[in-house]
Structure formats: C-alpha cells, structure tokens
Structure 1
C-alpha cells in the first residue's frame, strides 16, 4: 500500500472540536459520564458534551473545520455543539485506530524518523533518522517510487539533512529515502512497510495555508497557535509538519500534556513506539488533574507496550485506563478495556 491508498476519515468519528487554550479550570461532562470532571487542553469534544469554565477562565476551542475558534462563555454551562456545530465539511483526519508494526527499536540502525508515513506541505523537508553509535557519516538517497530510481543522493556527518528542493518533489508522486551508515547498517534493516511520503495536492495545500492566515489564529497564545497548527496539519495527514511544530515546544520544556500526548499519538501512528512511549509517559505526569486525559494516555501506553511485546506492562496500563473510566462512570470504555486485558491472556 502506498500513501495514495490511505483513506481520509474524520479526526475522530464525530468530533466537533478540541480545546486549545485554557487560562483556568474548565469542567466537562460527556453524555455517558456520571458527573462533571476537570478537563484541559487537547480534549476532543463531541455533540452532547457540556463545558463549564470558571468565572475568570478564558477557554478557546478549535472547531472541526480547523478555522473557527470558539470562546466558551465563562462561568456558565454551554453545550459544545452550540459553539462548534457538526461541520458540514470537516477537515480530513487521521486514522488513529491503525497501529503499525513495531519499528524504531534497534538503536544500531539508522531507522527513519521523518518524513515517515506522511504527506508534506513543505517541498524542502528535513530528513531525520536515528543516530547510530559509532557512525561518522551517512549516505542518504531519496527514491522516486514511481520510477523505482534514485532521485537525489548526498553524504552527511549529522543524523539529518534538508532536502534542497531540486529535483522538485512532484505532487501525486510517492517518495521514500534510505540511509546507510558507515557502520554497515541501513534503514532498510528496519523492515517496516509504507514509510514513504508525498506532497499534499495543490488544492488542499491552499486550504491549509488559508486557515493558518485566519485572524482568529493570530490572536491565540503562541503555544495555542502551535497546537491549532498541529491539529490542522494532522487533519491533512501532514504528520511530519505536526511533529516538527510540537517538538519545538518540547525543546522549550512545555508543561502542556496535550503537546506530549499528541506527539505520542503521531509517533505511534508511524510505528515509532519507543518515541511514543517517551512522550506518553511525560504526558501522563502532566495530566495529573485530568482523569479522562490520563485514562486515554494509559490506554495508548497499553497499546504501545502490546506492540512492543511487553504484555505485563500493557496489562498494567490497560488496568490503569479502566480504573479511570470507572471513576468517570463510562461503562462502555470500562467494558472495552476489560476485553483488551482478556485478549492479552489468550
């Protein structure tokens, strides 16, 4: 399967938006919860959800169309659908339920980090890979999959290089790249399928840039702008741009759980489970006030450890997630997580 075969599905099946900025406490009650619970930045919203910000809170929601920013009225209860009604034409979205095979676990090979299983807005992408212990230089080859031929080659000493833009990466063409270290190892040793990339088509690229120029986006805090941009990128399968946007905030020691959780999800989607694990663990600690947020992260960690073949760790995290949903009174997720525990014992 090539990138052109990927389906375009909603961000979540009926998501109508997600919180991107909050200056104070905000409570959330979903239809199947027994009571209101504290929630935070990054929480996805659905029809039927009720939000109650503190009287002094500034809470902003990015709606599913990617461009509308809704300021939730402070000090009162509001239905999420009042501010973000179901979108007639939502932005495209990621396939968050698909868990690729395990990858990125052998530190001795220059496995691909990005671009990896992604579309690209940028015609000059940064090619990144794992730095191999003892390697002093790497040969990098960009492959045109339509011709099955080398498009461009170079040799570098670092573990990343910027593609110079010539030859031009043509829209609609699938590409990949191979890295060979002077230790004799190669990125091909990872044996992961479908690690290629392709430029976003012209019409969708125009849509993305149009949303980013909306005045409402420019009025957000810098971190909220980054999250809004990342969520928009994710909706168009621009995983590499989303990762780069959020990694910049990791370097600034962001204290927002959504930054790390979203990075964990992105790395999980491209099969880099060790990187996903690192970011999920950080997100879990930062989400200590958010029962649902921790439950979601715990379930993701269970999936990561299951993919890594660590059944005991997977079981512990699925139990942690289940216990969170018990507190919330969400019987549907409690049942689902109990099924996952049973499957681990088969």
Structure 2
C-alpha cells in the first residue's frame, strides 16, 4: 500500500502565486517545476502521477511535497549556501527581469546596463549578472519574415515529406541559384595573420565582374551538382535542368525542391518539364528559404570560400568555386533533417501567439 501521503492544501494567495511563477517565462526552470509539483499535489495527484506528467523521479516529487508542507512558499527556494549572505533580494532580481521584458527606458528603444542600473538602483555588474543568469540580451536584435503563402501548410508538408520519407526509385534534389557572386579584389595586398594580430585587409575593393552558381544538393548523399553561368534567366535554368537530366540515371524520377523565383515558372521551363515527365517540381512557401537545404550549403560556400576570397578576375573566382564543389563531393555530407511538418507548424503557431494581431 505504501506510506500515506500527507494532504496538501493551498490558500488562495499561494495558489495564485504558484500559478504565476509556473507560467512566467522569467521564472527559473527549477522554480517553475517545483511550483507545478506543488500544484499537482494540491490537486490530489499521487507522486507517481505527477512524476510521469513532468518526466521526473517520484522521489523528487516527494521531496518538494515535504519541503512545502514544512516551510510553505519558502520551502521552494534553494537551501542557503556557505559564504557571505546575499545582498540582492529576489524581489530586486524580479524587478530587473520584469522591467527588461516588459518596459523600455524613456530615452531609448532598449535597456543598457547603465540605464537599468540607474532604474533599479543596482550596480552595472549586478545587472549584467542578472541578465546573464536569465539569458537576457537587450542590446541584440534579430529579424524574421512571415510567409504570406496561402498554401503554406500544404507546401511545408510536401517538402518535409520528401526529406523524411523520399519516394522509391527517385532522387530528391534541393535546387537554387546563388546570383551576383562578386569577384572582389582589394585595393592593397592582404596582410596575413600574425601572433597577436588578425588578418587585415583594406576596406575598399575593386569589382571584377559577377557570376551565378546553379546548384542541386542530393538530399540522400550530400553530393552537389553545380553549373556556373554569367546570368540567371530561364534560359540558364533550362540548361541546368538539362545537365541534371544527363547526370541522373534514366531509371530514376527526379524531385526538385526550389523556391518561387519567376525563372522557375516561365513558359520555357514549363515546356521543358512537360517534355521530361520524370522531373517533378516542389515549391517552398514564399519567404521560406530555410526549407531548402541547398541554402545551408550556399552558406558554407560563402563562409569557407567566398567571403574572404580575393579575386583579380572572374575566371579565378569561377575556378575556385568549381574546385570547392569538387572538394565537397570528394567527401559529401548530407544534412540531417529531423523536424516533422507537425512540429514545424506547432512551433510556428506558438510563435504567432506572441505577435499581436498575427492571427488576423
């Protein structure tokens, strides 16, 4: 039968506080979990039931049940540690976190350590430690773009389905073009790296022309088929499709994942596709290039070869690109796609809930 569990009853104030701490993003994960344990105990659940819900050990549930019964709300805090007593109270820490998340200073768009120190009465170093502990970085900002594609859900399921469950007797290729690749030469020789000093280069440069790389990434093997052209029109895209047709064995269907660029949908391309029925195009939603794995490969090419390259001619740029592709294909590495379509859509839905008016 086991030992009987002592009954745990909450006051209205305790109930409200525990619910608030469990839900607020600014609460530490440990404290939020302890609040959920106590709330579960108050609902009459057993230690085992609560442990299964939260993915923890029943002994952990029993520990915080006892601690709360002995010390009430104070029992949820960590035991005092050896050393000098704390000078900063929990209320002061909470005030800093809440102000950072919910308000902005009167004279700026975001908080700095100085402005928050003035607002809170704490030192700048203390503010910095609080922000670090809660992962807050008011000085940083990132960008995002929401797709307005009416077929967004269907396209996500289509593309992700090809990644996670590719059809038999078929090849799945992620296709796109990287246009406007510039052959840049610096106005003075690059100074090499030295002990205590990074590589240095002049701010200004000379442009020696631009080129376009068409690339197809084999989802299964990571191998890349590339083709370089001076322009990126439908004519060049059709030539690239012809190259793919010759490269891929005739007994395989070819599924191409590409974006909504107009070049991919012209009459010239459509007629070519009609004459080659083994080709099947799958379009990513608008503003959703992250769904196309070849974009990740383009990022590697940029980081490892193009960004710091110095080219005195367009021919030397194109030679280095071809060489880099060959080196990659000597040891190709496919990207592992793990997210299902449902997981992507659920995460997007949760993200939209944080944006006022996004659901309209």
Give the structure with the larger strand fraction. 1
Same fold (TM over 0.5): no
Q: Which has the larger radius of gyration?
A: 2
Query: With CA pairs under 8 Å and 6+ residues apart, which has the higher RCO, 1 or 2?
Result: 1
TM-score (norm 1): 0.27
Give the structure with the larger helix fraction. 2
TM-score (norm 2): 0.26
